[in-house]
Structure 1
């Protein structure tokens, strides 16, 4: 595991700067370029690549056989990636895999003239239906990472967020928590579905808590159409604390790690200690999670591997077109210091 010192050395900044950047310290005055360097260095140093002899042989063959361009479509642009490093992490994995496989990733938009010379497209994020249609019209060889729209003639890569939410909640239940709040958001404009809530994490929370007869509407805070971010996590937590007054939950599940930072920051600002008074758990286990104060318990989604599997799937589609695939990667609970058993007084 990379340390803050490792990140500071490679990014050419101080240890204090790294710590404050990774904890989203609003009082820190550094350039966006410095922040980007810190986050990308953290991702790179914590990226554990899996390789087999078969993959190595495929790499050798690919380097000789393919000198092709791949269009890279990003739902989150560079200046937006700081709000949710999930997509930056996927991009890092895709870029590394493309380089290893002998492809050139070219950042593109749907009106880009460069698309006439690409072999396919790798698309990262929750694109809406019209954008998906335009991308496929430009090139039918496309893989979408993170989209939940129904399959037509493209492949998708996702993490198992139902499993992630269940792992998080069952960890809290095992610790003895019953008053478990949820703080999150959904971006309905970029989601497909017919239920009131469209993301697996939100629906799994509601279903599982109802199954155990523990669901309490007062502890359910979801913005129906907003971006998951540190700022939103802090805002919703502020609103929730005002409504809860003395009826505090003993634990909070945040929709992702960025939201969890906002939750912890607001609890700390209100002098509520984590995890002594309220445990906090996130989802994704992005590079900064281990450096938070306290280090964040979360559920790991293998984001870099999502980018890598996306590139492998795209290469397969380019070489041997077949039926569309929906590939779902597993998740894994990572226990750190932001969760503990509830106090007996609760």
Structure 2
């Protein structure tokens, strides 16, 4: 006679018996209910660990009408920022007892935001997180009836959605302030595609902060986030430009600009200082090591999951939450050439 393999798996009543509590108490611990005595919670978690107990998610979903799954719609998952945010949300969700189902939208893909929402809600997600959105996709989301809480990773507040982001304006202010304090009064901004909300926020913040410092107003260069774009731009310069610094919309474009300037015989930072945005793991190894704005993606993921969980529990939460950015100063910035 063949035994049922599932009978060998510990169940919630066994956990309760060994911990000396009711099975309802075990359920409340698993669902992170408040008002559980710390000693009781610790004992239940210890028994769960000892038995290697894994709750039956299907049964839990039938009882609570929740799947403990978060859906993530991510734009251009090949880019560092979206990929890092997705990984951070996945990690934070797992730590909170949730799983993640994600869908990536790409330029060469026929999938629309409506398709993505239909797919994710069809998986029974409890909530939806939208990572690195474009203004067009957010506009599309407003036209879709979404039956679960929606959080968008974007800097601006939004009447339709919860929002969480790294402080893009604050990070841009740090970059401009650093260059201005060094003495730069003519700075070029190489922006990301302006349909990307983060790129637009950085571009607007750059102009506002530069104006406050009396920095020369000049047209921005609109890039595509790639090192190749910035390399082509910098290597096409006919002479040393009047501007003495470049604020690049991300580290990849900063890298391309450094490469292009080097190939033209210009030195960084002696001729032109460069600041990036993101703090790629490799940025400390650029030549020269890159001054850049660091985004704390881990904190961003934790906060996004915390806000969604609070929304699901009916707790009071802010409509807009920001994570501070940091400036990492390395060797790609110095005083402008005319001041040396």
Alignment CA distance shift 1:161-1:191 (3 Å): closer
Matches within 5 A, 1:64-83: 68-77=68-77, 81=78
Does structure 1 retain, via aligned residues, the 8 Å contact 2:192–2:250? no
Shift of 1:187: 2.8
Alignment CA distance shift 1:124-1:191 (3 Å): closer
* Counterpart Cα distance in 1 of 2:72 and 2:339: 53
* Counterpart Cα distance in 2 of 1:212 and 1:322: 39
Matches within 5 A, 1:137-148: 137-146=145-154, 148=156
TM-score normalised according to structure 1 size: 0.69
Shift of 1:110: 2.4
Does structure 2 retain, via aligned residues, the 8 Å contact 1:121–1:143? yes
Of the structure 1 ranges 268-277 and 178-187, higher mean CA displacement relative to structure 2 is found in: 178-187
The one-character-per-residue Cα deviations of 1:285-306 (angstroms, maximum 9, x if unpaired) are 2322222222110111222221
SS in 2 for 1:99: helix
Which of 133, 141, 144 does residue 132 from structure 1 map onto? 141
Alignment CA distance shift 1:89-1:233 (3 Å): same
Structure number with bigger Rg: 2
SS in 2 for 1:117: coil
Shift of 1:261: 1.4
Q: Does 1:341 align with 2:338?
A: no
Does structure 2 retain, via aligned residues, the 8 Å contact 1:183–1:236? no
Does structure 1 retain, via aligned residues, the 8 Å contact 2:155–2:168? no
Alignment CA distance shift 1:113-1:304 (3 Å): closer
Aligned to 1:160: 167
Shift of 1:149: 6.8
Shift of 1:214: 2.5
> Structure 2 unaligned runs (5+)?
1-37, 47-53, 61-65, 104-115
Aligned to 1:87: 82
The size of the alignment, in residue pairs, is 269
* Counterpart Cα distance in 1 of 2:231 and 2:240: 19
Alignment CA distance shift 1:234-1:139 (3 Å): farther
* Counterpart Cα distance in 1 of 2:241 and 2:140: 44
Alignment CA distance shift 1:129-1:93 (3 Å): closer
SS in 1 for 2:282: helix
Does structure 2 retain, via aligned residues, the 8 Å contact 1:254–1:282? yes
Which of 201, 225, 228 does residue 225 from structure 2 map onto? 228
* Counterpart Cα distance in 2 of 1:149 and 1:228: 24
Shift of 1:67: 5.9
Which of 259, 270, 275 does residue 281 from structure 1 map onto? 275
Matches within 5 A, 1:249-260: 249-260=243-254
* Counterpart Cα distance in 2 of 1:113 and 1:330: 30
* Counterpart Cα distance in 1 of 2:193 and 2:76: 15
Shift of 1:159: 1.9
Aligned to 2:324: 330
Alignment CA distance shift 1:250-1:111 (3 Å): same
| C-alpha RMSD of the superposition | 3.0
